[in-house]
A and B are shown apart, each in its own frame.
Chain A
Amino acid sequence: MSTRTSPARDYIFFAIFSVAVLTMPIWLEPIGAGYPDLLQKFAIFGLFATGFNILFGLTGYLSFGHAAFLGVGSYTAVWTFKLLGMNPIPAVIMAIIASGIFALAIGYVSLRRSGIYFSILTLAFAQMSYNLAYSVLTPITNGETGLRVLRSDPRLFDGNGGQEGPLIANLFGVEMTGWGGFYFCAIILLIGFFIAQRIFRSPFGIMLRAVKTNQNRMTYTGLNPRPYTLAAFVISGMYAGLAGALMCITDPLAGAERMQWTASGEVVLMTILGGAGTLLGPIFGAALIKYFENIFSAFNEQTLHEIFSFLPDFIEGPVISVAGLFVGEGWHLTLGVLFMLIVIFLPGGLMEGVSRIGKLFKRSSGKSEPNRATAPAE
């Protein structure tokens, strides 16, 4: 896919993508996704997955602990609110710095190993942070209750207790809920996407791909892969921290549960569902998963009944009880099944599926390119 790129193409692509993201409220309206809370999630998790993809998609290092950075970003953002005031800009900056430092420390240790050891090390660090957030660090994280902004907090720049109404982030008067929040997240997503695109096209990105393709050969060429992978790890940690900060900007509450390994698993799934190593795939995957999560978990017996009412009664009963396993509370089951199906049948994710279909059409029109079929999927 990277064979047919040029700067001009990239800018056009980015422009189309920007228009698509900013007009999401309009074109997602017909499928029932055109409301701000869900679109905020699309943008936030899209950003999270984009960052994860810089590490996993480019270098092939599978981190199972990225949720820890999300949590660090969240806590930092809420603390910035508490100390400096409800403006999201300092929160975003502080969250990026804090998660970057955190990622540097964890990455420095974890990246000494590769393969499965790396996965286990990151998992161990994430579990460690999660356990600490729940127990000893309660003064900082407020444990199970979750950290929130209180009226009694100092908030240096917007004063203490002066204003009425709920405490929500506002950017120079624009409240960061609803559409305001969505456009804030969307613009940050676009910035993040642009940076990711530049990384993909840069010599640095090529180096990262070299790490994935053959690390030994890279070492023999006289290049030390460690600084490159560490940089990728820190960058993707910063993306995760940024996503965590955005979560708190749209809803100023940080809880430890978003650091759990299931959250790390979710971002892995988003990335591979869309297609690891592709630019658009992870964002696409994140949006799909959040969309279906939203739809499926709202289902209950009653809605299922309406959907399957065309079936005769004796079939309808069993069908509903089986389908009932997968919706509502059982949404995670659907997620697990989806996970397995994607890994088994479509390891390259949906983007690979799209390109396969595209190739199919090309072949039928007589312009087949046999060499490209054997090239490894990125």
Chain B
Amino acid sequence: MDVIILQLLNGLDKGGAYALIALGLTLIFGTLGVVNFAHGALFMLGAFCAVTFNKLLSLEIVTTDPTKTTAWGTPLEIRTPYIEAYLGDFGNWVLNYSVPVSILLAIPVMLLFGFIMERGLIKHFYNRAHADQILVTFGLAIVLQEIIKSIFGANPIPQTAPDAVRGAADIGAALGMDPGVIVYPYWRMVYLAFAGAIIAAVFAFLQFTTFGMVVRAGMADRHTVGLLGINIERRFTIVFAIAAVVAGLAGVMYTPILPPDYHMGMDFLVLSFVVVVVGGMGSLPGAVAAGFLLGILQSFASMNEIKAILPGIDQIIIYLVAVVILLVRPRGLLGRKGVMEN
């Protein structure tokens, strides 16, 4: 029982990341009809927004303290980050909370990037074959990935969670089980809550605002909405930018869990596509459900007990599920009939 709860929890945070990326992919696919192979790169860009923000904050002033000396007899160097020197305690607080605060940087950056990418590139691919869309976004993903690599290097750059949520919670004890059995890091809970909030926000936005209503109408029948005199293309551009922001924020908040490196986007992208396919192409609830489902399945498959029976299953479970789903129920778990079944 406790093992099951532990694996369930472990799967949830990864599932959260899958769900957020898959949500963006589905939004883009449902509105623009474009298959975006660069979406993983957007996730990675978000993560590197957090890295950049942290690096900027950590720029240091080096002063020497003549009254003290080091073991080598030279004057002691004191390194203080600029932000701490100028803003005092508040600066310190910002530095501590650099990962969540960098959301403030990531939102405008990703919005702008999404906007430019849609207007500059994707727009010209609405009416081209899916193969062309896949290829051009694949090329873009390589370009982004290599640029990040040349700036930040090839090694993962660890980011730390704020002090307040750095530890782990003993959930087992709280549920009345033996202490120390189910230990879950606070940050993962934060991530889970964050993912839930973002997903809820996107759904609320689409469901309860006029803008969202137009977008949903456009997803159902783009042509008719256009005939009603609504500039549907502009709305879709904004949707693309929103999807980019969602992927970016997923990346920002994921940095304390997985140190970002330049190829993390591609690793997540392949899995997110599988998630979209399993959930049903064009179905937003499907994408979210399948994201969590596959995250949890993956975490169960990496249990030692299961690996002992089926070695290597943890590596391939997601792909296996996708293959089975595509063959048994081609439109995915929650896919609507007739939407991209071919």
Task: List chain A positions with a Cβ less than 8 A from chain B.
Answer: 60, 62, 64, 109, 112-117, 119-121, 123-125, 127-128, 131-132, 134-137, 261, 265, 268, 272, 325, 329-330, 332-333, 335-340, 343-344, 347
Contact = CB atoms under 8 A, between A and B. Distances in A.
A343 B132 contact: yes
Nearest to B151: A325
Contact of B138 (A127, A265, A333, A338): A265
B270 A127 contact: yes
Contacts of B179: none
A340 B131 contact: no
Contacts of B319: 124-125, 127-128
B233 interface: no
Given A117-B326, A124-B323, A131 B136 contact: no
B274 A336 contact: no
Interface in B326-342: 326-327, 330, 340, 342
A340 B136 contact: yes
Given A112-B327, A132-B315, A124 B322 contact: yes
Nearest to B332: A117
18 contacts: A60-B131, A115-B342, A116-B130, A116-B134, A117-B326, A119-B134, A123-B270, A124-B319, A131-B312, A131-B316, A132-B312, A136-B312, A335-B142, A336-B142, A336-B145, A339-B135, A339-B136, A343-B132
A60 B277 CA distance: 21
Given A332-B146, A339-B142, A120 B130 contact: no
Contacts of A272: 135
- What 5 A-B pairs come out closest when comparing CB atoms? A136-B312, A336-B142, A339-B139, A333-B146, A131-B315
A113 B329 CA distance: 11
A339 B273 contact: no
Interface in B110-164: 121, 124, 128-132, 134-136, 138-143, 145-147, 149-150
Nearest to A337: B143
A332 B142 contact: yes
A337 B316 CA distance: 32
Contacts of B132: 343, 347
Nearest to A121: B326
A115 B136 contact: no
A329 B153 CA distance: 11
A140 B48 CA distance: 38
Given A121-B326, A343-B135, A115 B316 contact: no
B147 A135 contact: no
B312 A135 contact: yes
A329 B149 CA distance: 10
B275 to A, nearest CB: 11
B107 interface: no
Contacts of B131: 60, 62, 119
A329 B141 CA distance: 17
B311 interface: yes
B270 A261 contact: yes
Give the interface residue-count category, chain B.
35 or more
Interface of B: 35, 121, 124, 128-132, 134-136, 138-143, 145-147, 149-150, 266, 270, 273-274, 277, 311-312, 315-316, 319-320, 322-323, 326-327, 330, 340, 342
Contact of A340 (B143, B266, B274, B322): B143
B277 A109 contact: no
A370 to B, nearest CB: 24
A337 B150 CA distance: 15
A137 B146 CA distance: 31
Given A272-B135, A336-B143, 7 more contacts: A113-B330, A124-B323, A132-B315, A261-B266, A339-B138, A339-B142, A340-B143
Nearest to A136: B312
A120 B279 CA distance: 14
Nearest to A56: B131
Contact of A344 (B136, B142, B322, B330): B136
Contacts of A120: 273-274, 277, 322
A119 B270 CA distance: 11
A285 B169 CA distance: 56
A115 B341 CA distance: 9
B143 A333 contact: yes
Nearest to B311: A136
B270 A136 contact: no
Contacts of A261: 266, 270
